[in-house]
Structure 1
Amino acid sequence: MAEFESAIETRGLTKSFGAFRAVDGIDLRVPAGTVCAVLGPNGAGKTTTVRMIATLLRPDAGTARVFGHDVVREATAVRSLIGLTGQYASVDEDLTATENLTIFARLLGFPGARAARRSAELLAEFGLEEAAGRPLKHFSGGMRRRLDLAASLIGRPPLLFLDEPTTGLDPRTRARMWTTVRELVGAGTTVLLTTQYLDEADELADRVVVIDHGRVVADGTADELKATVGAAALTVRVDVVELATAEALVRRYLGAESVLTSPDGTLTVSAADTATLPELLMALRAAGIEVRELVLAPPSLDEVFFAITGPGRARRVPEPA
């Protein structure tokens, strides 16, 4: 699809469910041959937006085009140009990996021999050859996600939607998926990626779009978005049992309203002014809290995300499945 500059273009895209407006006038442009990461809190409208562009939901208002084709008036043409890997595997657990891929290929119009050949190619490409004859109910979560991605690539679509494709995967499998995405883009595929992992967006995306309350609230490269924050990121790791006390001290001495905490005892905070950092360290010591790690780093997408979406924003109703 080299003749098109944009793989995706939306204007005023809107979708409501009853009185709840899930997507509220989204304008989006994804250049062909790039990775666009869509970030946002749970219920921000990410999945609903993807489903409209992928012709699975009809917009209430606005327009969306995929390589110049309108997603409503030319839905069949759009479907021939896209692959979709959703949050949950769309494969049959009682069938083998080969049987799943072969069925998808036949549904796409591949004749028998070609369907079998394409299935074998994808199993090899995703490192699933040894498990080809095994029912999927015996697969690990990572193997199922790889097979689901393989199924979305049977027809070599020029546009691939990845809706939180690495959720729940171990770090090694996530890294393998990242490599696959880079290879696809290198071969000319355009990828629209929704993710909860900010490091994933930082690693893969040419452009990052942040959606909140159904609207685009930020759009730019990762570096451009980081530059809007300005503040450095302070990471402090303590014993998990001291996490609440440490968080209170960080808020007090750094004047921080937003503190990201992790189950391993790590706190991350945007530190615009580090002049009081020595006082914080003395307060932690006085409270008997051992600082196991302290890192002051340039802004990350974590800081961008918190600065743009804000921790005190009203929670939204979860998006329909």
Structure 2
Amino acid sequence: MSASDPILIPSSFLEVEGSQLPILKLPHPKTRQQALFIAHPGRGIWEVQSVSDPSDANRTWFYQPGDDSISDQVMTRNGGRLLFVTPFDPFFMLLDLFFRNSFGCTKDQAEKNIKPRFEQLDVMLEEAQENWLFQGVGDQRPSSSDVDIFANAALRPETLERLFKPLKQDSETILWQKDPHKAIQEIKLKVEKLARAGRTAGIENRSLWSRLAIKEGLLAVDSSREDDQLVIEEIYRKVALDIVESYLPPEIKTFLQKNVYSFPLLEKIKKQEHNVDLSGNIGRRNSEEQSSKTKPKAVTKRAKKEFSSEKNQTITSFWNKASGSESSSKPKRSSPRSKKTKIT
């Protein structure tokens, strides 16, 4: 991101006192690569998005220099980008920060990995920073200052209660304990909310939801039948789960697939479709074998040659052949011997 890249921000961002809004470089939960975020005091975390022109097009920005020592009144920047910000739920980033190594393959293993004691938030954050500060190399590694700014903006009580159990002390300090059950419940709420949105969109709208649902087998069920409504719900829940899982750490994704979510009705439909395709291939192969058995024998080259010679003969050759055969069938007459007279 360059200082000359125009960016669209809400007007409330301009009301921030002090210096400019901090631009943070943190690992994105979906790509696991460094991405740009803005930490707004009181308004949470915002993701910086970019709109770029196609490779065959160019965009040039004209702007006034911020430094008065530059003589030019207007400066240009070729290949400029248009940036804008969108609100980003820090829940997914906190999952990656605090719960990366907390989930095993089973529920029992996940509970063993969670420390049972309550701790101060600063102590928990110091231990969890290793998941970010020591991943990546060079510029791909987030700085400790960016992590601290993110924590101050994201670790609000309403956000923490979705991941931790609070314990209030007499001195009005609050201790926190990791709660994997709360984290799973929050993920399930997000999946169900997305599934309802997809079901509302419907197949008639030709939206992204309809394309993803068709890929999961939506066209194989009848939406007018009551018995198929549960299958349709599973289809949209499966699509919503795939979207949410793309933002989750691999360990939590594996835990959900093995312990939380299953789609028996959808798997039954797909199995039936597979059996139909398999039986169709077997029937087609049997018909091909049967047709090969009843297929007439191939004509030999000699027969083809004889047939071709008979077919291509002319009328003259035909009658010559006929007359020759007729003359050959008649018996030959013997010529009379001449009597010799003996002269005496």
Instruction: Using structure 1 for the length normalisation, give the TM-score.
Output: 0.25
- By percentage of residues, which structure has more strand? 1
- By percentage of residues, which structure has more helix? 2
> Which has the higher Rg, Structure 1 or Structure 2?
2
